[in-house]
Amino acid sequence: MNRKLGKQTIGLKICPYIISRASVVGQKEGEGPLKDSFDMIVSDDKMGQISWDLAEGAFQKTAVEIALKKANLKNSDIDYILSGDLQNQCAATHYGLRETNIPFLGLYGACSTMIEGLSVASMLISGDYAERVIALTSSHFCSAEKQYRNPLEYGGQRTPTAQWTATASGAVILSNAGNGPKVTHITTGKIIDKGICDVSNMGAAMAPAALDTIVAHFNDTGLTPDDYDLILTGDLGVLGSEILCDLIKNDGYDISKKHNDCGKMLYNIEEQDVHSGGSGCGCCASVLCGHILSELEKGKYKKILVAATGALMNPLTVLQGESIPTISHAVSISI
């Protein structure tokens, strides 16, 4: 147990390197402020497929191909691939990755999947089970709207607190050797349910999960907000971010000067009419694998904490009157 810090955090003795990364985004994401950080901006949101569902898989497939190419690696160089998505039974992942021929571990963490994947991938490498592991995820605005809310043709009005599901995929390759930012700590979240039932206000539902995990991280490690150049949440959006920064003061931490949120960064919020910001597994994945890791590589950031959040309900359970269970997983990344 020499690596365990506190109840929820692992300090990795052997820190895996993020040796490659790829981000593939849709047109709208490619018109946002981070457009120069993405590897590919796709104008056809069906990616040549017959459905949005399969298109989302094609985003994942393309992200894997780009990440491998950038590292000059082949599929057979990878020991495990870890992924999941928001579609029922994670179908985007399974169809997108079915030709990879790489041992596969399927994850479900909703919009926390990118960091859940990074966590498990890091443990596979640090535990000497693997040399190289790919972690990725995706979301697609059209497949998500159809499944979680209304068919696009319905033209439903969105509430001011609603977030915009990103059409995007992000992938990293972790390795036990090489160059790149390193994963140093893993804080695994617990399921948190504060009784919130409004699926048009995911930021409010998920903020308590981010709070729980970030506070656990600080308490477990003895680190404070001062130790980080950036404390990044997955996709709390504008409202959820405010709630988090407010609530965490009660625990004695002020993160307001260090905090940002992928859902606030991916779009020009006012101009692109995304209401409370971006969301979806692909939001955190593409912002991390595009802009954020680039800034770490450039040395703008030296040490960051990334806490992705996920809402764990399905549309049926909410119609049955149930509240929204949530989770947040965090990793520390350093250069």
Residues that bind a copy of itself (CB under 8 A): 1-4, 7-8, 10, 50-51, 53-54, 79-80, 84, 86-91, 94-95, 97-98, 100-110, 116, 119-120, 123-124, 126-131, 188-193, 312-317, 320, 322, 325, 327
CB of 8 to a copy of itself, least distance (A): 5
Strand partners, 134: 81, 173
Output 217 or 259, the one with its CB closest to a copy of itself. 217
Q: Which residue, among 255, 300, 296, 273, has the nearest Cα to 17 in the 3D structure?
A: 296
Instruction: Indicate the Cα dihedral angle 163, 168, 174, 180, nearest 10°.
Output: -90
CB of 238 to a copy of itself, least distance (A): 25
Give the residue with the Cβ less far from a copy of itself, 103 or 156: 103
Nearest to 289 by CA among 268, 310, 311, 308: 308
* Separation of CA 278 from chain center: 11
Task: Please check whether residue 122 is in contact with residue 183, taking contact to mean a CB–CB distance below 8 angstroms.
Answer: yes
Q: At 285, give phi and psi (nearest 5°).
A: -60, -45
Pick the closer one to a copy of itself by CB: 102 or 284. 102
Beta bridge mates, 132: 175
Q: Which is nearer to a copy of itself, 49 or 272 (CB)?
A: 49
| Residue closer to a copy of itself (CB basis): 256 or 323 | 323
Structure tokens at 244: 């988090």
Distances (CA, A) of 259 to 12, 67, 230, 233: 24, 28, 6, 8
Q: Which is nearer to a copy of itself, 38 or 218 (CB)?
A: 218
Min separation Cβ 31 and a copy of itself, Å: 29
CB of 233 to a copy of itself, least distance (A): 18
Q: How far is the CB of 194 from a copy of itself (least distance, A)?
A: 11
Do residues 55 and 140 lie in contact, with contact meaning Cβ atoms separated by under 8 Å?
Answer: yes
Do 63 and 23 form a contact (C-beta atoms < 8 A)? yes
- Our CB check for a copy of itself shows the closer of 98 and 249 to be 98
CB of 73: closest distance to a copy of itself in angstroms?
A: 15
The Cα–Cα gap between 104 and 84 comes to: 10
Phi, psi (degrees; rounded to nearest 5) at 264: -85, -20
> Nearest distance from residue 92's CB to a copy of itself, in Å?
10
